[in-house]
Amino acid sequence: VNSGPYVSRRLLVVDDERIQRLIIARAVGNLGFVADAAASLDDALACLGDRAYDVVILDLSLGETDGISLLQALRDCGCDPVVIFISRLDDRIRIASMRLATAFGLRVAGSLHKPVAPAALRDMLLQTPPRPAAAPDRAVNVPTVEELTRAMHNNAIVTQFQPKVSLNDGAVVGMESLARWPRGGSAPVPPDVFIPLAERSGVIATLTFSVMRQALIACSQWRKTHPACSVAVNISPLVLTDPTLPDEIDRMLHETGLSPGALVAEITESTVIANPLAAAQILTRLRIKGISLSIDDFGTGHSSLLSLLRMPFSELKIDQSFTSQCETDPEAWKIVRATVSMARELGLSVVAEGIETNSVAERLRDIGCQTGQGWLFGRPMSEATLLAWLNEREPVTV
């Protein structure tokens, strides 16, 4: 759809109040939109069946029904319209609706209080979000179990490291190891694809031990110049119930000459912990040895309050979905603040993931979050790049 300045764009107002339909149609007409109006869900569905719309303005309360029932039709109509919500309901409901629409894959420009102020509507229309870049076609890229086991056998799965930095003084406090599968010729396979594959096919323990070995060897290198800098390894819950884990870790620590304090185990409940008692037992053994335990992606619904009670965690990582929204979504910010204060009550250190800007780093530091991780400080890097980065680096002070 050409949305250049000389082509009129088509907009649909869905509102059961006639006066609002008229006001909005007039306001957007002045901006070069051709507006249609629908008074009910059925009218709206008929319009969507007839025409392609660039923008849909949707009232959340439509008499007997609600605007949410239209989201599916908007997603399936094929014209990928920008959605603006209007409502007399409170902010929480409008924000929840925006989140829901985003989760449906719709582009949401924002929400406005009714009666709609034409100036506010104009501002929102002038900055409608761009169409997302076409999603990479994962279908062609999905590896098989055989390819994965071959890659592991050939040491083709490599480990990168991303710094964790003190928000108070900019010191590097540790690195997170992240598994990478670069495939010569084609695009790398994202960890969100091959980690679940490794979990399903029973090779996740082998993969984890391989990443851990690379991580501890690299850590023993950077410790020569940065003796307090730890290394974190992601551990799937499936590996937690592997009774060889504590001994395997002992052996690797011994081989690399590292103390247990150099290692952080990051646990995500990406899959249900089948045997929580066995997992808690292993985690407690690790903690007694002096290994730090981190609860990863806290707040995503995978990593739960229940695990905080059950397992002896020493660190909590706030998921990047909260960090990245904390300036634009008041609810996300409330959750971040509540999480930081709860962690402090429980004596856990807090790491915020996904920090991309200075202003987010400052906000987090001001509420007492000690540590940050994200592109602002450094992207995941190979061991060689990391060692150079560490040695050249001036501390970034927030």
258 or 264: CB nearest ligand C2E: 264
The residue written with tokens 């400052």 in the block is 362
Query: Shortest gap between Cβ of 134 and ligand C2E (angstroms)?
Result: 18
Q: Does 234 bind Mg ion (CB under 5 A)?
A: yes
206 or 220: CB nearest ligand C2E: 206
Q: Does 269 bind Mg ion (CB under 5 A)?
A: no
| End-to-end Cα separation, the chain, in angstroms | 43
Query: Shortest gap between Cβ of 374 and ligand C2E (angstroms)?
Result: 3
Q: Which one of Mg ion, ligand C2E, none interacts with residue 354, CB within 5 to 8 A by kind?
A: ligand C2E
Query: Shortest gap between Cβ of 206 and ligand C2E (angstroms)?
Result: 11
CA distances from 248 to 182, 208, 213, 241, 259 (A): 27, 11, 10, 13, 14
**Among candidate residues 386, 358, 193, 371, the one with its CA nearest the CA of residue 294:** 371
Query: Shortest gap between Cβ of 380 and ligand C2E (angstroms)?
Result: 5
60 or 335: CB nearest ligand C2E: 335
Give me the amino acid identity at 317.
Answer: K
List the beta bridge partners of residue 112: 86
358 backbone dihedrals φ, ψ, rounded to 5°: -60, -35
Query: Shortest gap between Cβ of 273 and ligand C2E (angstroms)?
Result: 14
Q: Which one of ligand C2E, Mg ion, none interacts with residue 356, CB within 5 to 8 A by kind?
A: ligand C2E
54 or 296: CB nearest ligand C2E: 296
Query: Shortest gap between Cβ of 341 and ligand C2E (angstroms)?
Result: 22
Q: Which one of Mg ion, ligand C2E, none interacts with residue 195, CB within 5 to 8 A by kind?
A: ligand C2E
**Among candidate residues 262, 267, 261, the one with its CA nearest the CA of residue 279:** 267
Stretch that binds Mg ion, among 58-66, 95-103, 227-235, 359-367 (CB under 5 A): 227-235
* 8 A C-beta contact, residue 64 and residue 21: no
70 or 231: CB nearest ligand C2E: 231
Options 36, 199, 269, 296; binder of Mg ion; rule CB under 5 A: 296
Give the dihedral sign, CA 142/145/149/152. positive
59 or 296: CB nearest Mg ion: 296
Q: Does 297 bind Mg ion (CB under 5 A)?
A: yes
Three-state SS at 334: helix
Output the residue with the shortest Cβ distance to ligand C2E. Answer: 374
Q: Does 383 bind Mg ion (CB under 5 A)?
A: no
Q: Does 294 bind Mg ion (CB under 5 A)?
A: no
Q: Which one of Mg ion, ligand C2E, none interacts with residue 172, CB within 5 to 8 A by kind?
A: none
Instruction: Please provide the DSSP assignment of 133-175 as one string.
Output: PPPP--GGGPPPHHHHHHHHHTT--EEEEEEEEETTT--EEEE
> How many Cβ atoms from other residues are within 10 Å of residue 274's Cβ?
11
Distance CA 205, CA 84 (A): 47
Query: Shortest gap between Cβ of 173 and Mg ion (angstroms)?
Result: 15
Stretch that binds Mg ion, among 160-168, 216-224, 284-292, 350-358 (CB under 5 A): 350-358
Tokens describing residue 278: 């066995």
Q: Does 166 bind Mg ion (CB under 5 A)?
A: no
Query: Shortest gap between Cβ of 179 and ligand C2E (angstroms)?
Result: 4
Query: Shortest gap between Cβ of 325 and ligand C2E (angstroms)?
Result: 12
Options 54, 59, 266, 383; binder of Mg ion; rule CB under 5 A: 266
Q: What are the DSSP E strand ranges found in the chain?
A: 9-14, 33-38, 55-59, 61-62, 65-66, 82-87, 107-113, 158-166, 172-180, 230-235, 263-267, 292-298, 315-318, 349-352, 371-373
Tokens describing residue 129: 């979000």
Which spans of this chain sit near ligand C2E (rule: CB under 6 A)?
A: 162, 178-179, 190-192, 195, 208, 211, 234-236, 266, 268, 296-297, 320, 353-356, 373-375, 380
Give the dihedral sign, CA 183/187/188/192. negative
Count of residues that bind Mg ion according to CB under 5 A = 5
Residue 227: enclosing H or E segment and its boundaries?
none
Buried b (16+ CB within 10 A) or exposed e, 335-359: bbbebbeebbeeebbbbbbbbeeee
Query: Shortest gap between Cβ of 16 and ligand C2E (angstroms)?
Result: 40
Question: By the criterion CB under 5 A, which residues form the site for Mg ion?
Answer: 234, 266, 296-297, 353
